[in-house]
Structure 1
């Protein structure tokens, strides 16, 4: 005699299914991560600052409008000091610096994020494959990595940005392809540690191929390291973008924080004492870079508690 399963039994079976258990573990892991992250005051400060800047950048088209970049319809006079109408003053064309700084946050944050993602993707790919295959393949990759490590990153980025067209994609590419070696070294070391564990040998004995080992066993174990490295590289990428734009290698058609510093230098703001042209974009760059660094350090401490003990 057979009986049909009741809805309660089906719900209970769904809760105990492998997929449901996986989702439950992920929710518990996320909750545990957030609970530990909240204990880092510096990390919370950095996260709050980043959320504020992200909100400002996303709402810029609504609060500021794209016409703030227009040179012909500038509402003020050139290089006006801060006032009630222009809280941060104006640039050499009479445009509101407050609007330019807000609009420039979109470009600077976007370039920093995309360049960091490209850098981490290259470093993770090289690190995982070099740690998995080893032999002559790993030797060649690590020697190339060592060459990039000893070469000045900024010099390489300037060289690439010089020979290529002046655009945001060039800046992203120049930063991304010159800042990946540190990630590659860290990921390779983590890959070697993961592949020395017994369950990797069991997976190979059961017929697991190279792709299965790297994607199902190695990658999930290096993702926390990659995440922490990404938050740290974003701050460096934003500083690199500002440096390249300040040197005149950025896209002149878009507004960014580094581009504002370049415009201030060309307008003679340094020698004439027009501090309001230099200070706002410089402070914005410093705050965002510091915020990403604080978040990265907090993520590192959560993912690797031994760092907190060591410090």
Structure 2
């Protein structure tokens, strides 16, 4: 029985891989993500946090792109290329962890609200609706300002303000799964809440969670950059703090277009890549979308 299940999983994974490779946009997005994450991971092997130090700067202020500084320099003579490379670690870390926190909260609340009917589900959905009507960016800004400017607080501020949409999506899928006949048979055979939610509901909502996670990461990166631009930073160099610094030091007035354009393009490229991968996953994992394609 175990070998049969393993064979089915291998066939499903092979079919999923083949379907995903058929989506050109998804493969392009995946390639950009692989390169971005790989560069962020190997950054400490080639450079150190000293590249963000004003004292160790070796270039001229607002020096344009050249062979020595391919992406130019900032207001202190620091290399934009090296700062962009080092800052990718913070931007991607916050994006991944904030999205993970949001997905976990949304998954737990959504499955619980869909599985437990009556007052428990009603209370959970009212809490979800309350968070849903709050302006997430303003709420995250206030929370991050109150909790302090650290990586952990920025992650928490983004994560606990972006989960309601995931919760409602997972609740709808949970209701659909629990309406199937085999769930009734499981209950008749004595299956408890934990068995039903972990053995039947969770595997069926997992593909939806996978697609939602990629989109949530993109949203979290944009939110982190927005918070950094508004002055709530993680006290570390990120793409958002670079944009904020370009505004504070008048890069536009100095004609230092590279200081504004390059961090913005980095954010755009990674967010677009996550979006492309998320859309491709939706098309592969959703049979109706796959048939339409």
Alignment partner, residue 151 of structure 2: 168
Q: 2:234 aligns with which of 211, 230, 251?
A: 251
TM-score w.r.t. structure 1 length? 0.92
Cα distance in 1 between the residues matched to 2:105 and 2:93: 18
Matching of residue 300 in structure 1 with residue 282 in structure 2: yes
Alignment partner, residue 198 of structure 2: 215
TM-score w.r.t. structure 2 length? 0.97
Report the count of equivalent residues: 293
Cα distance in 2 between the residues matched to 1:165 and 1:119: 20
Q: 1:271 aligns with which of 253, 262, 269?
A: 253
Cα distance in 2 between the residues matched to 1:177 and 1:91: 34
SS state of the match for residue 77, structure 2? coil
CA contact (8 A) 2:25 2:277 kept: yes
CA contact (8 A) 2:62 2:254 kept: no
Alignment partner, residue 202 of structure 1: 185
Matching of residue 240 in structure 1 with residue 230 in structure 2: no
Alignment partner, residue 54 of structure 1: 37
CA contact (8 A) 2:60 2:76 kept: yes
Alignment partner, residue 98 of structure 2: 115
What residue ranges of structure 1 are gaps of 5+ in the alignment?
1-17
Cα distance in 2 between the residues matched to 1:61 and 1:195: 48
Cα drift, residue 307 of structure 1: 2.2
Alignment partner, residue 273 of structure 2: 291
Could you report, residue by residue, the CA deviation over 1:94-145 in whole angstroms, capped at 9, with x for unpaired residues?
1111000011111111110000000000000000001001101111111111
What residue ranges of structure 2 are gaps of 5+ in the alignment?
none
Cα drift, residue 305 of structure 1: 2.8
Matching of residue 85 in structure 1 with residue 72 in structure 2: no
Could you report, residue by residue, the CA deviation over 1:134-158 in whole angstroms, capped at 9, with x for unpaired residues?
1011111111111222221111111
